[in-house]
Chains A and B, each alone.
Chain A
């Protein structure tokens, strides 16, 4: 006879079973309820803040979208380059280098629109010049501070260190301009090229406040010689020239303790005394100095021959038009997918709610952070967002590859592009990252909501 094993039936403890089922029930229900409440509240709050003209109903807070239009200014500058005598090809290369450096400075500073082109210009002053002039025309349109942008365009920022001539008394009260006269100094070979990098850093000052300082990091092969030069002048003054203007600088005592050129091999830059000079008070100014120091050295002397501030060319739009365009786009796509049965009902709802969530959060953030925006750019970002959310919602297979690809591409574009394209790429990167999270979250929300309604 075959033995048949009978599974023992355990008598459950009534109180335990009730407890466990209660626990399971609570966990799921509490989680779903909290999720539903939070998600609904977030969408409603974001939508209310994002709606146009909402500030009219709120007396205390200003929830208006700030347009960049009024902050734009447009300027045109004619730069005169003082060409050195020599080969025509060398001159051409120097003009190209100058144009590239100026454009790079403007682009890194975040100037929205910039053009640097060769220009034919007739100097009406009729003065005889010791050099052959060449001209560049620089056109900018930006919301950045005008004086800072002009500094980036019109400054060569050539640096050279000078040694005071023997017998010159800088403390003579009868000749107070002596420290500022180039004739009282002997130029050295130490220029910007002697330094690997100039680091701009916020440091405390003597009076307890903070300011931005430029820290000169020499190349390993010039560090010893530079520190020896500084050591020789400890306690005295050296000349620091920027574009043919010299300023006396006291050499700090730290250089006296530097071991100098004789032991440079085993000494790292961090162990050495470093030349530091105060440059700016504000972050924007510090950024300008960073660009002037580190975005290449203009090979020619330059000066602004002519400049003109023009009316900004603005692509004017209204917030309501953008909102209508995006809403119409979303509705049209839902109708199309619904009529042609290309998408499931849940996909259509997910698409609509995802777009509502992303757009309202985006606009609410812009309003609350008071970030100025280009409305025409916002519309193009909205169109791109519709395209991205459509693919993320309706593409049924695994999307990890597409998501990673999209985010990677946007990251690359936001790093390498310039002007409006960079602003566009940065916003679309942020929106894509949000969409990657928001679309699956919205799908879950709809599933929970469906269960909740059916119950």
Chain B
């Protein structure tokens, strides 16, 4: 187990462990601080922070199983897949925060508008990433296939999970209560 984690995240020294932790945590922490400063919403900051969980889990599991299936062990190149997933996660969270801020400027704030607009953006992104992955697969060799597949699965799981989380946390409770009373 320990060796698998070391191999997947390319962590062989404490120095590398710190680097990987910074790579994963720092962008999301900066984003959650920026989103709090911009929107004053603690829930949004929480969503940004929690997006790390599906990201790490999906990356670790998909790396392990993809390498097992292809019988390939990537030396450090898998970290590029992790960076790709981080970029996609940041873009997705950026859209969510932007939508939230846009809704704040409206006369009547409705979180459903935020989640609906974010769903459209997430869905578009999922489709686009699926298209890019499947279109490029025939042109690349097996080792690259492992990296793109890992990046694809990680991105898919992370942005879907983040959207699910935003649905749960940004639900308009007042409106829901009214519906229930009726």
Residues of A within 8 A of B87 (CB): 384, 387-388, 406, 409-410, 428
B27 touches A409 (CB 8 A): yes
Within residues 392 to 431 of chain A, which ones have a CB less than 8 A from any CB in chain B?
Answer: 394-395, 397-399, 401-402, 405-406, 408-410, 412-413, 416-421, 424-425, 428
Minimum Cβ distance to chain B for residue A379 (Å): 6
* CB pairs A–B below 8 angstroms (18 shown): A100-B15, A103-B16, A322-B139, A325-B139, A329-B132, A376-B140, A386-B132, A387-B125, A387-B128, A402-B94, A409-B30, A416-B26, A418-B16, A420-B77, A420-B80, A421-B76, A421-B82, A428-B83
Q: Is B47 an interface residue (CB 8 A)?
A: no
Chain A interface residue count, CB cutoff 8 Å, equals 62
Q: Is A332 an interface residue (CB 8 A)?
A: yes
Chain A contact residues: helix, strand, loop or mixed? helix
A418 to B95, CA, bound (A): 28
Q: Is B60 an interface residue (CB 8 A)?
A: no
Contact indicator per residue, chain A 239-282, by CB within 8 Å of chain B (1) or not (0): 00000000000000000000000000000000000000000000
Residues of A within 8 A of B147 (CB): 380
| Interface residue from A99, A329, A384, A409 paired with B13 (Cβ < 8 Å) | A99
Minimum Cβ distance to chain B for residue A235 (Å): 45
Residue of A with least CB distance to B144: A376
Minimum Cβ distance to chain B for residue A93 (Å): 10
Taking A313-B75, A420-B77, A424-B80 as contacts, is the C-beta distance between A333 and B140 under 8 angstroms? no
Q: Is B58 an interface residue (CB 8 A)?
A: no
A315 touches B83 (CB 8 A): no
A387 to B132, CA, bound (A): 9
Residues of B within 8 A of A332 (CB): 131-132, 135
Taking A383-B84, A416-B22, A420-B79 as contacts, is the C-beta distance between A328 and B139 under 8 angstroms? yes
Residues of B within 8 A of A317 (CB): 140-141, 144
Within residues 18 to 53 of chain B, which ones have a CB less than 8 A from any CB in chain A?
Answer: 19, 22-23, 26-27, 30-31, 34, 38
Residue of A with least CB distance to B31: A405
Within residues 339 to 357 of chain A, which ones have a CB less than 8 A from any CB in chain B?
Answer: 342
Residues of B within 8 A of A413 (CB): 23, 27, 83, 86
B98 touches A398 (CB 8 A): yes
B128 touches A336 (CB 8 A): yes
B19 touches A324 (CB 8 A): no
A168 to B97, CA, bound (A): 75
| Interface residue from A324, A391, A420 paired with B76 (Cβ < 8 Å) | A420
A-B contact count (CB 8 A): 174
Contact indicator per residue, chain B 139-159, by CB within 8 Å of chain A (1) or not (0): 111011001100100000000
Q: Is B168 an interface residue (CB 8 A)?
A: no
B124 touches A409 (CB 8 A): no
A319 to B62, CA, bound (A): 28
Stretch at the interface among A52-60, A113-121, A122-130: A113-121
Q: Is B106 an interface residue (CB 8 A)?
A: no
Minimum Cβ distance to chain B for residue A140 (Å): 11
A416 touches B19 (CB 8 A): yes
Taking A405-B31, A409-B30 as contacts, is the C-beta distance between A336 and B131 under 8 angstroms? yes
Residues of A within 8 A of B165 (CB): none
Q: Is A316 an interface residue (CB 8 A)?
A: yes
